[in-house]
């Protein structure tokens, strides 16, 4: 390989690394949604509506944080049709989170606590 080819290759590698770093730096943070597991239902902070409909945009990157406030119970959050799930929380006062991309088309999916799916379920709506 000639010296010129080596310099060009090095420049492309460095330039590509910079481009990747810049793209990673400007990548938008996921939209944060917090759900509270309490009294055998999910709640949004400050909203008394049990198991609310969660509305997200098509292809939006979302972080769901689950906060456990139900002593003596085990809870999680899952959108099984989209293979999205948090770890199980076994103690009140703990949190877990999951980051995912919403589908790229409008759809409604059920979200659940897999341990209490008959009572703890709501709708994730993608617009």
CA terminus-to-terminus distance, the chain: 53
Quote the pLDDT of residue 28.
80
Q: Is residue 26 part of a domain?
A: no
Residue 14 lies in a domain: no
Q: Is residue 55 part of a domain?
A: yes
What are the start-end ranges of the E strands in 22-106? 31-38, 41-43, 54-56, 61-68, 78-79, 84-85, 95-101
Query: Is the pLDDT score of 112 beyond 70?
Result: yes
Domain count for the chain: 1
113 within a domain of the structure (yes/no): yes
Q: Residue 53 above 80 pLDDT?
A: yes
Q: What is the pLDDT of residues 82-105, one digit of tens each?
A: 999 999 999 999 999 999 999 999
Q: How many CB atoms lie within 10 A of CB 68?
A: 21
- Tell me, yes or no, whether 17 lies in a domain: no
- Please check whether residue 95 lies inside any domain of the structure: yes
Is residue 45 assigned to a domain? yes
Q: Which residues contact 83 (CB under 8 A, 6 or more apart)?
A: none
**Considering the domain boundaries, does residue 75 fall inside one?**
yes
Q: What is the pLDDT of residues 59-87, one digit of tens each?
A: 999 999 999 999 999 999 999 999 999 99
Higher pLDDT, 40 or 21: 40
Strands of the sheet with 95-101, listed across from one edge: 41-43, 31-38, 61-68, 95-101
Span of 4-8, 54-58, 88-92, 100-104 with lowest mean pLDDT: 4-8
Q: Give the domain CATH number at 84.
A: 2.60.40.420
Range of the domain at 101: 31-126
pLDDT at 108: 98
């Amino acid at each position: 390989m000639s010296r010129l080819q080596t310099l060009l290759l090095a420049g492309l590698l460095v330039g590509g690394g910079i481009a990747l770093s810049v793209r990673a730096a400007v990548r938008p943070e996921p939209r944060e949604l917090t759900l509270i597991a309490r009294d055998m239902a999910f709640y949004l902070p400050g909203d008394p509506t049990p198991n609310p409909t969660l509305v997200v945009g098509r292809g939006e990157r979302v972080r769901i944080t689950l906060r456990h406030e139900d002593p003596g119970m085990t809870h999680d959050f899952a959108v099984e049709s989209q293979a999205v799930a948090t770890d199980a929380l076994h103690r009140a006062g703990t949190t877990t989170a999951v980051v995912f991309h919403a589908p790229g088309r409008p759809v409604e999916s059920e979200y659940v606590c897999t341990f209490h799916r008959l009572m703890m379920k709501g709708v994730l709506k993608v617009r």
